[in-house]
Amino acid sequence: MIYWEDLVVGEEQAFGSVEVSRDEVIEFARRYDPQPFHLSDEAAARTHFGRIAASGWHTCAMAMGVIARRVVQDEQAGLGSPGVDELRWLKPVYPGDTLTISGTIIEKTPSRSKPGIGSFRTATRVTNQDGVDVLTFTSIVLMRRRPAEPATES
């Protein structure tokens, strides 16, 4: 199990990658962001996108999926997140793109009111297959602290 104490400020983690599928772009848009440029090549051609583009919220969801699978795989003692800061959609994401997600721990803070919990902030980057940043945000994560070792008798 990886606990709050195991995290190192300045450490970068490569979470993994995901391929952007046209069918998923359209499915997500139909359900959650039904703007024409996410649903139709013709409509997208009349915008600055030029072609169908993924919703920014879909891009966030894909990034979260990659991060969450890595956290579970690594058995991190995560307790969820109170939010994100500085969320920026920098470039369009298109079907056929491959997104790579990484993060650098920028801060750790022990909880003042709950001694078994700490939080940390990660500068998260999502890049496309050309290494271009398409999404950045700062995540705030709550994490269990390492349990105290039981005292041994001597």
Could you read off the pLDDT of 56-104 as tens digits, one per residue? Answer: 999 999 999 999 999 999 999 999 999 999 999 999 999 999 999 999 9
Q: Which domain holds residue 93?
A: 4-144
Residue 9 lies in a domain: yes
The yes-or-no verdict on residue 148 having pLDDT over 90 is no
Q: What is the DSSP string of the chain?
A: -B-GGG--TT-EEEEEEEEPPHHHHHHHHHHH---HHHH-HHHHHTSTT-S----HHHHHHHHHHHHHHHHHHTTB-B---SEEEEEEE-S---TT-EEEEEEEEEEEEE-SS-TTEEEEEEEEEEE-TTS-EEEEEEEEEEEEPPPPPPPPP-
Question: Residue 14: inside a domain, yes or no?
Answer: yes
Higher pLDDT, 148 or 100: 100
Residue 145 has pLDDT above 80, yes or no: yes
Report pLDDT digits (tens) over 14-57: 999 999 999 999 999 999 999 999 999 999 999 999 999 999 99
85: domain CATH number? 3.10.129.10
Confidence (pTM): 0.91
Please count the structural domains in the chain. 1
Q: Is residue 89 part of a domain?
A: yes
